[in-house]
Amino acid sequence: MSFNPAEIKKQFPILQRQIDGNPLVYLDNAATTQKPQAVLDALSHYYTHCNSNVHRGAHTLADEATRLYEAAREKVARFINAYDKKEVIWTAGTTEAINIVANGAKQLLKSGDEVIVTEMEHHANLVTWQQVCKISGASLKVAPITDDGELDVAAFQKLLNGNTRLVAMPHISNALGTINPLHELIPMAKSVNALVLVDGAQGIAHGDVDVQALGCDFYAFSGHKIFAPTGIGVLWGKAEILSDWPVWQTGGEMISVVTYDSATWGELPNRLEAGTPNIAGAVGLGAAIDWFSGLDLEAVKAHEQLLMQKAVELSTGVDGLIIKGNAPHKIGVFSFIIEGTHPADIGFLLDKQGIAIRTGDHCAQPLMKRLGVPGTARASFSIYNTVEDVEALFKALQKVKMMLM
């Protein structure tokens, strides 16, 4: 298969936009990815031809909608190599997926139990566990990172002991791009019989996710980080764990038998999916996975590394620019500061030139504190970004420097 980012870019209508008269250069892909025409078409087709509620209704539309919706679940299951499609629970996104696990954990953990997170967590995988610990009496342990933004594996191992009940960690850091060595870390956690939850928000579009090979118990991700709509995400969990996991929301769809005094819960996946789901979102995610899987994923990765190399190379020409996150294994996340300037000023003046990046604490305030910065400017690359986009970023940065200094 061939891979041509300029051709791919043409499949994303939004990338043809202009901002203040400049062509849009979208470099905020760690926040959300844009949607290809194939996904837009799937959404439009669903609402134009098949819209109906699923799993009920004695009519053709209901059948068609249910078929599309369940086919999307199968696509996700295949994409992440789940053991069974019933292990794929639809959620609103990564945050809700983590909260489903946290909601159960807070009922199951007790004083004396320990939960481990890392210093590179997004608030979604930090505040949730902090609150679980507060409510359950368990203690929260934080595995440190090095100055380069890599997890300190030896220190992580030292935190593990017979009281460790759960390890929650990101596959890939959203703020720094660091890829965690899950194949090393998960067996360590498993050696003390801890449950392992992987926050896959950044991993899903970059990490060759194979939940069986990883050996984790839960993997959470959002559709919108992999070219699908917002408002749809997935909690994958091993069937033997999820079938007894405390239910999340209660209501329709998730029950088996209901009386005025009691209710019994349905089977997986329904028991964790109360109410009418985001059907169009699921269909859109299925379409996004089809589209993404059609690409040469090795070439995609190589291209992203090329963009990153180009960024690092061009950054040496910007006085005072310091890259935050220098792990040897990282995705195309270019997080930086420029001495004597504030990230918000950089972001604003880049936007005036059509360059979209993210600035701030990236929902990781403790990590920013650890790095000794109030925040960073972050350019994050995706498959439709070109070397010209990276060059445009640095050309624009020169103007930013000129204006601010």
Partner 1 sequence: MSLPTTDEILDDLAFFDSWEERYKYIIDLGKALPAFPAELQTPDRLVKGCQSNVWLEIAGDNERIEFLVDSDAVIVKGLLVLVLAAYNNKSAQQILAFDIDAYFKQLDLERHISPTRGNGLKSIVARINSIAKAALA
207 sits near partner 1 (criterion: CB under 8 A)? no
| 253, 266 Cβ separation under 8 angstroms | yes
| 395, 316 Cβ separation under 8 angstroms | no
Residue 58 tokens, joined: 């004695």
Rule CB under 8 A: which of 122-151 touch partner 1? none
β-pair partners for 198: 169, 219
Using the contact rule CB under 8 A, the part of the chain among 8-16, 29-37, 205-213, 342-350 near partner 1 is: 342-350
Using the contact rule CB under 8 A, the part of the chain among 223-231, 264-272, 346-354, 381-389 near partner 1 is: 346-354
When binding is defined by CB under 8 A, the residue of 14, 213, 302, 403 that contacts partner 1 is 403
- Kindly give, in sequence order, each residue whose CB lies less than 8 Å from that of residue 316, ignoring residues fewer than 6 positions away: none
Size of the site for partner 1 (CB under 8 A): 17
CB closer to partner 1 out of 252 and 320:
320
344 sits near partner 1 (criterion: CB under 8 A)? yes
14 sits near partner 1 (criterion: CB under 8 A)? no
342 sits near partner 1 (criterion: CB under 8 A)? yes
Distance CA 182, CA 173 (A): 12
CB closer to partner 1 out of 284 and 375:
375
**Contacts with partner 1, 164-203, as mask; x by CB under 8 A:** ----------------------------------------
| 94, 126 Cβ separation under 8 angstroms | no
Shortest spacing between CB 307 and partner 1, in angstroms: 25
CB closer to partner 1 out of 200 and 347:
347
86 sits near partner 1 (criterion: CB under 8 A)? no
Q: Which residues are catalytic?
A: 363
CA dihedral 122, 348, 33, 65 (to 10 degrees): 100
341 sits near partner 1 (criterion: CB under 8 A)? yes
Shortest spacing between CB 258 and partner 1, in angstroms: 42
Distance CA 174, CA 180 (A): 12
Using the contact rule CB under 8 A, the part of the chain among 25-33, 74-82, 136-144, 339-347 near partner 1 is: 339-347
When binding is defined by CB under 8 A, the residue of 6, 61, 302, 404 that contacts partner 1 is 404
Rule CB under 8 A: which of 15-34 touch partner 1? 20
320 sits near partner 1 (criterion: CB under 8 A)? no
**Contacts with partner 1, 367-396, as mask; x by CB under 8 A:** -------xx---------------------
Using the contact rule CB under 8 A, the part of the chain among 40-48, 258-266, 309-317, 335-343 near partner 1 is: 335-343
Using the contact rule CB under 8 A, the part of the chain among 43-51, 184-192, 324-332, 348-356 near partner 1 is: 348-356
Does residue 54 come out as left (phi exceeding 0), alpha (psi in the -120 to 50 range) or beta? Answer: beta
Shortest spacing between CB 319 and partner 1, in angstroms: 17
When binding is defined by CB under 8 A, the residue of 345, 356, 370, 388 that contacts partner 1 is 345
Shortest spacing between CB 363 and partner 1, in angstroms: 10
When binding is defined by CB under 8 A, the residue of 325, 343, 384, 390 that contacts partner 1 is 343
When binding is defined by CB under 8 A, the residue of 55, 85, 352, 370 that contacts partner 1 is 352
What are the residues binding partner 1 (CB under 8 A)? Answer: 20, 341-345, 347-349, 352, 359-360, 374-375, 399, 403-404
